[in-house]
Structure formats: C-alpha cells, structure tokens
Amino acid sequence: MYLYSLTLQRATGIVCAINGSFSGGKSQEIVVARGKLLELLRPDDNGKIQTLLSVETFGAIRSLAQFRLTGSQKDYIVVGSDSGRIVILEYNKEKNVFDKIHQETFGKSGVLNSLL
C-alpha cells in the first residue's frame, strides 16, 4: 500500500515574514512563509508586489529570520520547520533559486511530537 499526498490549493495565509536585501545591492525584498510555501517578493516602482521566486517545502514552515555576515552585501534566510530542522538559505539571483548553505537538526517539535 502506498500513500500519496497532494495539495490541490496553495496556502494563502502568511505564517511569518521577513525583509532584507537577499539579492544583494540596495534592493529590498520580502520573504513570506505560507504553510509549506516560501516566497520571495519585491515591491516595484508602482507599489505592486511581484513574486520573484516561489518554492514548496516538504514540511510546514514555523519561523523565519534574516541575518547578514560581516562584510557581506546581502542577507541570508534562516528557516525553521516542524520537522525539527533549521536551514540557512541564500538567494541565487542568476539561477533564481534558494541555495542551501547549511542544515541543522535541533529536535522534533510541533506536529511531529503529537505523532510519535
């Protein structure tokens, strides 16, 4: 027996959001988490929000944070999920992807604790 999970409609409610300069330079972007969806947004000159990148993750995103290394020109994204991991991501503007810099397991929490 095989189980298959498929989400028919994407989540619309924003769980958490951060802002920063993720593509480098002086541009400001917004990263939002909508359930399992991680989106990179940028406001244009007319005040409208454009989606630069939208990525679906395996687990539900519980927290977001941004930081900048000393001397760096761009910010990095820290993602915490219900699978008990934190991941540091870097936005690659040339490929239009999030590159995983580091991943660390810190324990099981949230939904997984109730299942185990």
Written as tens digits, the pLDDT of the chain (116 aa) is 787 777 777 778 899 999 999 998 888 999 999 989 999 999 998 989 999 999 998 889 999 999 999 999 999 999 999 888 899 999 999 999 999 999 998 876 555 555 44
Instruction: Report the Cα 35 to chain-centroid distance in Å.
Output: 10
pTM of the model: 0.82
